[in-house]
Amino acid sequence: MTRLETARLTLRPLEMGDLNDFVAMMEHPEVYSMMGFGIMPDGRKRARTLEEWRPRFEYRIAQFDWEGFGEWAVVMKVSGAFVGMVGLQFYLLDQGTVATPEIELFYGLKREWWDQGIMQEATSAIVRYAFETLKLRRLTSVCYRENLRSANVMRRVGMTVGSHPGNPDGEMLGVLANPHDAAASAGPAE
């Protein structure tokens, strides 16, 4: 049920066998500068090592059993190549004075697979799954202000993108309400 198909892609829950491909994706400076980096003593960003990623991977894999969602490998149907990942995770959205529990859509592609509409195809399938199968009320997504590609991914799935309320100078927030949720615009039920 958590395996999804699109025209060009298979989305399947991450497996330990994806770890090397995942680390290779995260070693590219244009990828790790935007997410999942370590910090060097002089403050510069660095790629995380395989051993740093391993426990995170184990957590992600277990998460599917606990929550019914987590992180999917994005795989080309035609070749079986791992090209990236897309996921859903719980987090607290800092709105300045309060923080709200949300579910975040996150994603990344190996650098050589950018500019082919792959993430648009993958995120569209996950958004459909989130709204139709998981019945989530809304999805959010966060990126650095300078990450124009990521903001465009958010826009292409229909999110409204604006300044992040908890960090308006540094980050952008995308928000998309479930179109099937008649109560969404009326706020939480009494």
Shortest separation between residue 143's beta carbon and ligand COA, angstroms: 3
Shortest separation between residue 116's beta carbon and ligand COA, angstroms: 5
Of 11, 14, 73, 153, which one interacts with ligand COA (CB under 6 A)? 153
Backbone angles phi and psi of 32, in degrees to 5: -70, -20
Q: Both tokens of residue 29? A: 């400076």
Applying CB under 6 A, which part among 30-38, 50-58, 63-71, 96-104 lies near ligand COA? 30-38
DSSP 179: T
Q: Which of 51, 62, 1 is nearest to 26 (CA)?
A: 51
Binding mask 129-148 for ligand COA (x = CB under 6 A): --------------x---x-
Residue 128: C-alpha distances to residues 160, 165, 181 (Å): 17, 26, 13
Q: Which of 73, 96, 100 is nearest to 86 (CA)?
A: 73
Q: Is 169 or 190 the residue whose CB approaches ligand COA more closely? A: 169
Footprint of ligand COA on 72-131 (CB under 6 A): 107-109, 114-120
Q: DSSP H helical segments within 12-161, as ranges?
A: 19-26, 29-32, 50-67, 118-128, 148-156
Shortest separation between residue 118's beta carbon and ligand COA, angstroms: 4
| Residues near ligand COA (CB under 6 A) | 31, 34-35, 107-109, 114-120, 143, 147, 149-150, 152-153
